[in-house]
Amino acid sequence: MAKREIPEINAGSMADIAFLLLIFFLVTTTMDKDQAYIRSIPKRVEVTTPPVDVEQRDILAIRANSKNELMVRKELMSNADDISERVVEFYTFNELKNDVTSNFPLYSRISLVEIEGRIEAALADAEAVEATPGASQDIIDFKYTILKEWENKKRALQLYGKSELPEISSQAHVRIEVQKGTEYGLFSKIQSELEEAIFILRDKAAKDVFKESYSTIKSRYAVDKKKDAKMDKEKLDLLKILYPDKFIEVTPKK
């Protein structure tokens, strides 16, 4: 039998095929990343209860009008870059010692024993509501959320390693009040400054308590969910309790 030689396949056009694919991917994809600020919209409620009175000291109002002029706490501001400093001041003014005469939110300090007391009370309360015939599921869920919050605080304080957990007044918040004509550029600048301020605060706390930067913890948590994830989550939770990001965006009327 004659040995037949198998002819070699001509691979000369392989490069053309690869180029074709390459160009296809160059055209249909984009290099630039999408970066954004994620915010949650409050749920729509049908029942209109009169709004709770909030003390002036607990509000940091950032206003911008349709001429793109900026006002922070009744003070005109020409440079938008200064907003973050004011936000940091708002959070830290009373952090170490409450000054009742100041116009900044007050801090409460709570010890581990007190938190444990609250947990027991919340648990008893939740069980009592559950045992009540005809109690609606919403209320039961609500009671258990409170219990869970206290348990989170207990874990946070244990991680914090100090005798007391400082907590900013629960009503303290930042309000963004813009008008319809305000440019999106300024609106997003305010968002950027808020994010920057929260970053500064949490980063400092992270370096003090955990000896590593906030962005390190955050990116490690985002990348590797398995390794050390629980620990990182608790760290992030603690930072969130210390400096909560409560931003309210007020729907413009004019």
Taking the least distance from each CB to other proteins, the nearer of 58 and 203 is 203
Distance CA 137, CA 154 (A): 26
Q: Let me know if 240 is exposed, middle or buried by CB neighbors in 10 A (0-12, 13-18, 19+).
A: middle
Among 116, 183, 212, 224, binds other proteins (CB under 8 A): 183
* Contact range with other proteins by CB under 8 A, out of 94-102, 155-163, 187-195, 239-247: 187-195
**Residue pointed to by tokens 């116009």:** 103
Among 1, 6, 8, 43, binds other proteins (CB under 8 A): 43
Distance CA 236, CA 243 (A): 11
- CB 209: neighbour CB atoms within 10 A? 16
Distance CA 140, CA 129 (A): 6
Q: Is 133 in the site for other proteins (CB under 8 A)?
A: no
Q: How far is the CB of 233 from other proteins (least distance, A)?
A: 16
* Contact range with other proteins by CB under 8 A, out of 31-39, 97-105, 129-137, 229-237: 31-39
Q: Which two tokens stand for residue 111?
A: 């010890």
SS3 15: helix
Q: How far is the CB of 82 from other proteins (least distance, A)?
A: 14
96 touches 108 (CB < 8 A) = no
Which distant-in-sequence residues (6+ apart) come within 8 Å of 170 by Cβ?
none
Query: What is the per-residue binding string for other proteins in 188-217, x denoting contact by CB under 8 A?
Result: xx-xx--xx--x---------------x--
Q: Is 248 in the site for other proteins (CB under 8 A)?
A: no
Query: What is the per-residue binding string for other proteins in 65-84, x denoting contact by CB under 8 A?
Result: --------------------
Q: How far is the CB of 194 from other proteins (least distance, A)?
A: 9
- C-alpha distance from residue 76 to each of 64, 71, 135 (Å): 10, 4, 51
Among 1, 9, 41, 113, binds other proteins (CB under 8 A): 41
| Interaction site with other proteins (CB under 8 A) | 11-12, 14-15, 17-19, 21-22, 25-26, 28-31, 33-44, 178-189, 191-192, 195-196, 199, 215, 222, 249, 251-252
